[in-house]
Amino acid sequence: GIQVEQSPPDLILQEGANSTLRCNFSDSVNNLQWFHQNPWGQLINLFYIPSGTKQNGRLSATTVATERYSLLYISSSQTTDSGVYFCAVSPGGSQGNLIFGKGTKLSVKP
């Protein structure tokens, strides 16, 4: 089956720093989503981005489907950005179920 690899697994930043999180996937996909898991364990939708580039405030994402990777950019990080960031994809030919990566755990220090 499709493999979803996220890097780095852990990231520590000072408040105000920028960061890039990466998601590599091993096959074609029909859906790609980025989530932020908050301290209460809830999965918050960040981007639905099977291809192209989107921006939402300090966050932006780019998916290059032909090269099988997606990037999540966080600029001017804040302590509230801390948590785990997940990338999830729906493989081509699937029924839409998402395959999750293991996540990147981000800690933003004040």
Partner 1 sequence: EAGVTQFPSHSVIEKGQTVTLRCDPISGHDNLYWYRRVMGKEIKFLLHFVKESKQDESGMPNNRFLAERTGGTYSTLKVQPAELEDSGVYFCASSPISGLAGGRYNEQFFGPGTRLTVL
Q: Which residues bind partner 1 (CB under 8 A)?
A: 30-31, 33, 35, 40-43, 45, 48, 50, 86, 88, 90, 94-103
Q: How far is the CB of 92 from partner 1 (least distance, A)?
A: 10
**Which of 18, 42 has the CB closer to partner 1?**
42
**Which of 50, 75 has the CB closer to partner 1?**
50
Q: Give a three-class secondary structure readout of the chain.
A: CCCEEEECCEEEEECCCCEEEEEEECCCEEEEEEEEECCCCCEEEEEECCCEEEEECCEEEEEEHHHCEEEEEECCCCHHHCEEEEEEEEECCCCCCCEECCCEEEEEEC
CB–CB of 82/106 below 8 Å?
Answer: yes
**Which of 13, 49 has the CB closer to partner 1?**
49
Q: How far is the CB of 1 from partner 1 (least distance, A)?
A: 10
Q: How far is the CB of 88 from partner 1 (least distance, A)?
A: 8
Q: How far is the CB of 61 from partner 1 (least distance, A)?
A: 13
